């Protein structure tokens, strides 16, 4: 998926790491399952938006929307809601389990990833349920 996606714009880049060999990156991005896609901002900051499994079907749009939101630094929340989200001081990991054919999942993923964009203490993960049935 990533190879084709970066062909669409010269503003996108792709780095591929080996889970077994590239331990520094695995630790840096807290990757605990593969395949994993980690979206990183242009300045190299990690906004905590991660996709585990292949984001296909309805979920492919979640990747596109998150790329746009990261590039625009847009979490999508009102100022009042953003102020409340910023108060979260503990590390929070939100995992949204999805399937390629679920029409409801695409609304849940941006909610989780938007929270991650709004607060560095939050990580928003999309987890493809068919690829990780033992977790689902």
pLDDT in tens, 99-126: 888 888 888 998 999 999 999 999 999 9
Q: For residues 118 and 82, is the Cβ–Cβ distance under 8 A?
A: yes
Q: Structural domains in the chain?
A: 32-128 (3.40.30.80)
Q: Exposed, middle or buried, 131 (CB in 10 Å: 0-12/13-18/19+)?
A: middle
Q: For residues 102 and 58, is the Cβ–Cβ distance under 8 A?
A: yes
Overall pTM surpassing 0.85 (yes/no): yes
Closest by CA to 115, choosing from 88, 135, 80, is 88
pLDDT, tens digit, for every residue of 11-21? 899 999 999 99
Q: What torsion, rounded to 10 degrees, do the Cα atoms 91, 39, 41, 18 define?
A: 100
Q: 49-52 and 36-39 as β-strands: parallel, antiparallel, unpaired?
A: antiparallel
């Amino acid at each position: 998926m990533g190879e084709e996606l970066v062909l669409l714009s010269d503003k996108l880049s792709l780095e591929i790491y080996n889970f077994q060999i590239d331990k520094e990156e695995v630790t840096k991005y807290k990757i605990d399952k593969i395949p994993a896609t980690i979206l990183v901002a242009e300045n190299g900051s990690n906004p905590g938006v991660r996709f585990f499994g292949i984001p296909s079907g309805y979920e492919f749009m979640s990747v596109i929307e998150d790329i746009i939101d990261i590039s625009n630094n847009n979490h999508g929340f009102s100022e009042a809601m953003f102020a409340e989200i910023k108060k979260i001081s503990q590390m929070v990991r939100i995992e949204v389990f999805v399937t390629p054919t679920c029409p409801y999942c695409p609304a849940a993923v941006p909610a989780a990833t938007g929270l991650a964009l709004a607060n560095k203490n939050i990580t928003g993960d999309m987890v493809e349920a068919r690829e990780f049935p033992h977790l689902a």
